[in-house]
Amino acid sequence: MKLLDRFFAGDRAALSRVITLLENDRARRSDILDRLYPRSGKARRIGITGPPGSGKSTLADRLTARLLQHGRTVGIIAVDPTSPFTGGALLGDRLRMQGSWDDPRVFMRSLADRNHTGGLSEATPHAMTALDAFGTDVIIVETVGVGQSTLDVSDVSDTTVVLLTPESGDSIQAMKAGLMEIADVLVVNKSDREGADRFASELKMIVDMGRWEEGWKPSVLSASARDDTGIDDLYERLGAHGDYLAGEGRLQARRLRQGRSAIEKALAELWQGRLTALRESGDAMDRLSERVARRELTPLAAAREMMEEAAD
Amino acid sequence: MKLLDRFFAGDRAALSRVITLLENDRARRSDILDRLYPRSGKARRIGITGPPGSGKSTLADRLTARLLQHGRTVGIIAVDPTSPFTGGALLGDRLRMQGSWDDPRVFMRSLADRNHTGGLSEATPHAMTALDAFGTDVIIVETVGVGQSTLDVSDVSDTTVVLLTPESGDSIQAMKAGLMEIADVLVVNKSDREGADRFASELKMIVDMGRWEEGWKPSVLSASARDDTGIDDLYERLGAHGDYLAGEGRLQARRLRQGRSAIEKALAELWQGRLTALRESGDAMDRLSERVARRELTPLAAAREMMEEAAD
């Protein structure tokens, strides 16, 4: 039985293999996505972002437990810092995730942050497509930190949860990092720590001052993922945000934004690939460089010729 | 009289204006370069790079004085850090350049490092084309620091001078920064400082271990630009490198490399411009994002359609 047939028959090993291919095998990626993409689009997509050490993994674990209690299947994609030694993802964090690790209704995958963007791995949206097409109810994406990634977690999520801690810097820093803008729900984790209440009040003030889409203002919740407190509140708010999105084409609007971001990413990759191919074949580049060196052609005119060849 | 006519008649004010247009007026840049490019290619191009504080400006000043003594006209392009307040270049460093500032045979221009790459400004090669077409004998380009710029100083220079100081870190760091690879001449500046001799010996050892093009091994010179010592040695080595380049098509090879780098830069700009135009016109992107959101099309397939439209 072929890989994708096994995948569509619900074989978890096939899902795992498909994600590996999407992550590593650029040549087969496109064909696989052609098959998966039309079957995707049904899953609820929740992004969790926040500074390193804010407790994203633990929160994802707790949230997963709630989702399972409510009968959902869950896929978790975490982006882990790449080990400089192995080139693979550092799986240490994942060891914390004891609660749901063995549950057959949970599929967990770490992707390597090869480019060290601090945000999402390039393969993240592809892995999400796989989980989605596999029939997963809820997909949780967890960033490695607060990235300066061109691929923002809010570009792949229906709902973005921003996790902060009293230690993770003040609310002004959160604004600077652009976290306030993308948050649908704000969670102050480690709420038993000193300064947590003041920090939550500050965040609420900032939220109150902000201008938000009609019908939704980000809530500021307090939680302690480690102690499993505040998670029911989060679960409730995520439900409320889901209801909000369901109305007046709002989910459709987010999906449009996700589509646009995915196209831009694909465009950049495609272009990079063609340019690399042109460079490596070398003929055009050699010929044109020579003409530029002889001042017969400006670099811009040469680039225009290259563009035409690249477009073929 | 039109700007370019005045330029070709040797009017320095027109040269200055042309460089300003090349730096700031993207719309006119291409037409101006079409006129200037065929008249360029005769100047000797010398790049000076090194960490901040290594004395690049002072060295450029001293070298300029020597070049003037030998009857050459000199153009200096310095890349200055952008002021976060004015958006313009910080001209402080330039005030040091007292010696040749007023000489009509010297043209000095600071370009702003808008992208904070620490290397060269995007406009650098264009300004060099202008100086070259203006008939300048020697163009000296000075980086703002040791950049991680995609545009390397060695991509625009016939001869690259790497300036280091005993304080600027050890020789291992210089290797890591890729400075040893691009150096045609290495200068240990501030050679009166402690550790300068040991540092110069280390660099010589590294140079001796390296593999170099036949016929040229980078010299390691000691200098004190402030005290005007070692500059005659540098002048002599630059002359020797010029003679070396003159033989066996070596200058041609460097010019080919410069051409290639210029084409790649133009390609990236061209592509970015077309993409921006597509995004801003919006039609194609809106239509395709919608189809992607409806899962009728993968992002990659949509990107391929966009590519075709961008190529038109």
Is residue B85 assigned to a domain? Answer: yes
Q: How confident is the model at residue B88 (pLDDT cuts 50, 70, 90)?
A: very low
Query: Using one digit for the tens of pLDDT, what is the confidence trace for B225-272?
Result: 999 999 999 999 999 999 999 988 899 999 998 998 888 888 878 877
A78 and A186 belong to one structural domain: yes
First-residue to last-residue Cα distance in chain B: 37
Nearest chain A residue (CA) to B266? A300
Domain harbouring A116, CATH code: 3.40.50.300
User: Is B156 a member of any domain?
Assistant: yes
Distance CA(B53)–CA(B190), nearest Å, equals: 10
B-facing residues of A in 190-249 (CB < 8 A) are none
Residues A218 and A307 in one domain: no
Question: Which residue is closest to B284 within chain A, CA to CA?
Answer: A260
A residues 37-76 closer than 8 Å to B (CB) = 37-41
**What does the pLDDT look like over A166-204, one tens digit per residue?**
876 666 666 666 788 889 999 999 988 888 998 898 888
User: Does residue B271 sit in the same domain as residue B136?
Assistant: no
Question: Is residue A171 domain-shared with residue A283, that is, in the same domain?
Answer: no
Tally of domains within chain A:
2
Q: Is the pLDDT of residue A68 over 60?
A: yes
Is there a contact between A38 and B296 if contact means CB atoms under 8 Å apart? yes
Cα separation, A308 vs B311, in Å, equals 7
- The answer on pLDDT for A86 being more than 50 is no
Residue B272 has phi, psi (to 5 degrees) of -60, -40
Closest residue on chain A to B132 (Cα): A295
Kind of pairing, strands A44-49 and A159-164?
parallel
Residues A75 and A129 in one domain: yes
Q: Which domain holds residue A302?
A: 264-311
CB atoms near residue B90 (< 10 Å): 17
The CA distance from A145 to A2, in Å, is 37
CB contact under 8 A, A307 and B263: no
Same domain, residue pair A143 and A180: yes
Partner-chain residue, chosen from A258, A264, A270, that has the shortest CB–CB distance to B307: A270
Flag if B263 and A34 touch (Cβ within 8 Å): no
Residue B260 is nearest to which of A262, A263, A289, comparing CB atoms?
A289
* Position with higher pLDDT, A238 vs B209: A238
How many pairs of residues across A and B have Cβ atoms under 8 Å apart?
Answer: 133
A212 and A148, same domain (yes or no): yes
Convert A164-188 to b/e letters by CB count within 10 Å (16 or more is b): bbbebeebeebeebebbebbbbbbb
Q: Are residues A235 and A270 in the same domain?
A: no
Lowest pLDDT segment from A30-39, B145-154, B164-173: B145-154
Same structural domain, B302 and B167: no
B168-213: pLDDT as tens digits: 666 666 666 678 888 999 999 998 888 899 889 888 888 888 777 7
Residue B140 lies in a domain: yes
Contact criterion met (CB < 8 Å) for B262 and A299: yes
My answer on whether A237 and A292 are in the same domain is no
Query: Is residue A225 in a domain?
Result: yes
Residue A272 and residue A143 share a domain: no
What percent of chain B lies above the pLDDT cut of 90? 49
Is A81 inside a domain boundary? yes
The answer to whether A267 contacts chain B (CB < 8 Å) is: yes
Q: Which residue of A has its CA nearest to B254?
A: A293
Per-residue pLDDT tens for A136-175? 999 999 987 765 554 588 889 999 999 998 876 666 666 6
A8 belongs to a structural domain? no
A224 with A287, same domain: the answer is: no
Name the residue among A161, A203, A205 with its Cα closest to residue A184: A161
Q: Are B78 and B60 in contact (CB under 8 A)?
A: yes
**Does residue B35 lie within any of the structural domains?**
no
Residue B148 included in any domain? yes
